[in-house]
């Protein structure tokens, strides 16, 4: 990174010093910037402001007043009102970098701040945050979905690189689909694995994590390396009888999980058929087993 592209040492303020905000603030401090203020609603956020960022929690408008770069790391549903509220109360936004970390929102949500003279950035870290001490370590090498006006693109990308991340440019209009892809992969995986663990416990498996870990690790490695060609299991084999047994067992044991299984099995069959991994006649047998049309 050329010196001309490297942001000057910035006074950083974090509005919403929760899991994400405290980790990113700490990463920017590690890169040489100064965290000068932070705000938080919950007790845990205020504690992280002190423990991770070394600042006493204050009001959002005070964070804006003290900072050159304002990180808005609040829940998505809170973000529009936060931005409009700060702009509406005359917070000192003129000439300041204002960055949010939402995956689904682009730059439009920052319009009130832009009208007040701020410089908008969208920097979404592609990582799950637990609030534990290893959050900061996990930031190293991750991707960030970056959206910014062309003139601010070097600054946005430089900030990500300084946090030891990899900037990936996402067009403003594409951010909802981009975020849906990430949430579908990560969040739904957690739900599926938790559900599978509970079902295994129900049949007497004492440590389902030990059983699932190697299987899921191999499956993840396969799909990241091979895409849909890494698919294994009864659907891609066309084992309609086995799939029907799965559905029947789930209807009795966990009806709410049966619907999800059927929907995912249909999607799996559809993708396998399109990739040439599943023959049409096998797909028809699966269709009967699943009780619906995999092409709808």
Task: Work out the burial of residue 205: count CB atoms within 10 Å of its CB; fewer than 13 is exposed, 13-18 middle, 19 or more buried.
Answer: middle
Token digits of residue 260: 């999800």
**What integer pLDDT is reported at residue 296 of this predicted model?**
39
Residue 5 — pLDDT band, cuts 50, 70, 90? low
Domains 11-170 and 177-290 share a fold: no
pLDDT in tens, 158-206: 999 999 999 999 999 999 999 999 999 999 999 999 999 999 999 999 9
* pLDDT tens by residue, 31-60: 999 999 999 999 999 999 999 999 999 999
Each domain of the chain, given as residue ranges in start order, spans 11-170, 177-290
Question: Smallest Cα–Cα separation from 164: which of 30, 67, 4?
Answer: 30
What is the average pLDDT value for the chain, to the nearest integer?
93
Overall average pLDDT of the 53-78 stretch: 96
**pLDDT at residue 219 greater than cutoff 60:** yes
Q: What is the fold of 177-290? A: 1.10.1040
Q: Does domain 11-170 have CATH number 3.40.50.720?
A: yes
Q: Residue 6 — very low, low, confident or very high, per pLDDT cuts 50/70/90? A: low
Identify the pLDDT of residue 241.
94
Our CA dihedral for 101, 11, 116, 15, rounded to 10 degrees, sits at 40
Task: Give the pLDDT score at 131.
Answer: 83
Is the pLDDT at 1 greater than 60, yes or no? no
Q: Specify the pTM.
A: 0.88
Tell me the pLDDT band of 130, cut-offs 50, 70 and 90: confident
Q: What is the pLDDT of residues 253-291, one digit of tens each?
A: 999 999 999 999 999 999 999 999 999 999 999 988 988
């Amino acid at each position: 990174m050329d010196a001309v592209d490297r942001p000057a040492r910035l006074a950083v303020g974090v509005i919403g010093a929760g899991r994400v905000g405290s980790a990113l603030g700490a990463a920017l401090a590690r890169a040489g910037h100064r965290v000068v203020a932070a705000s938080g609603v919950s007790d845990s956020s205020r504690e992280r402001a002190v423990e991770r960022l070394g600042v006493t929690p204050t009001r959002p408008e005070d964070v804006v007043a003290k900072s050159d770069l304002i990180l808005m790391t609040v829940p998505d549903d809170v973000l529009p009102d936060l931005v409009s509220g700060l702009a509406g109360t005359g917070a000192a936004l003129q000439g300041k970098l204002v960055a949010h970390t939402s995956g689904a929102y682009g730059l439009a949500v920052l319009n009130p701040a832009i009208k007040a003279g701020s410089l908008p950035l969208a920097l979404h870290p592609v990582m799950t945050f637990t609030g534990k001490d290893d959050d900061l370590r996990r930031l190293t090498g991750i991707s960030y979905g970056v959206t910014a006006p062309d003139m601010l693109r070097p600054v946005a990308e430089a900030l990500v690189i300084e946090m030891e991340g990899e900037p990936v440019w996402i067009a403003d209009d594409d951010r909802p689909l981009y975020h849906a892809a990430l949430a579908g992969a990560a969040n739904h995986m957690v739900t599926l694995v938790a559900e599978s663990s509970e079902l295994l416990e129900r049949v007497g498996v004492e440590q389902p994590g030990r059983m699932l870990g190697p299987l899921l690790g191999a499956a993840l490695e396969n799909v990241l390396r091979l895409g849909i060609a890494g698919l294994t299991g009864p659907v891609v084999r066309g084992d309609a009888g086995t799939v029907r047994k799965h559905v029947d067992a789930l209807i009795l044991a966990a009806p709410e999980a049966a619907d999800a299984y059927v929907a995912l099995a249909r999607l799996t069959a559809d993708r396998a058929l399109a990739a040439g991994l599943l023959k049409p006649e096998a797909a028809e047998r699966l269709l009967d087993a699943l009780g619906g049309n995999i092409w709808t």
